[in-house]
Chain A
């Protein structure tokens, strides 16, 4: 079992729709959770982080964390073609290093 698992996609949504990206993790001791966006050929860019159970909203992005279910999600409202990218879920284990999932490719169709 991988430590951080994501569906690789591609996930295709129409412009203006809500995109829902999911991630599960195996280590119950994980402390904090991050979503990175990576455009093709570019490096990962931090877009959201969450530490506590529940929802955290930042503009069109909402991160959701359920530690009991070991589940993290990212919702993107009013999806735009510019949101088309690979979204990486990352988990901070004790000690600081991030463990990444394989990423979910999102395609937003005009």
Chain B
């Protein structure tokens, strides 16, 4: 499988619980992005990595959210003390040609989070 892989596909949790999502990018891609998408909206940028370095975090990302990419390969996104407003599709994307005009992002299937 040469695409971006995300796990789990669906996650249902109770408010206040912690959740963690995993993303495995396309193997030769050095950039990895996390986006969040709610119904009727476009994907909203959360954060991105180049290799293992986290280069940018959205101002919208509260301190309950943390992301890691420890070996420059897979990445995890953790949400602590989940709130109902965190319910969304969490999308991971990877790319090569980092920072160049022809950089193209390829998305995984996403993790649908429902906070009850």
Contacts and interface: CB of A to CB of B under 8 A. Distances in A.
A43 B101 contact: no
A97 B56 contact: yes
Nearest to A99: B45
Interface string B91-104: 10001001101111
A8 interface: yes
Interface in B77-116: 91, 95, 98-99, 101-110
* Size class of the contact patch on chain A: 20 to 34
Contact of B42 (A43, A45, A51, A101): A101
A96 B98 contact: yes
B42 A103 contact: yes
Interface of A: 4, 6, 8, 31-32, 34, 42-46, 49, 51, 88, 90, 92, 95-103
Interface of B: 31, 33, 35, 40-45, 48, 55-56, 91, 95, 98-99, 101-110
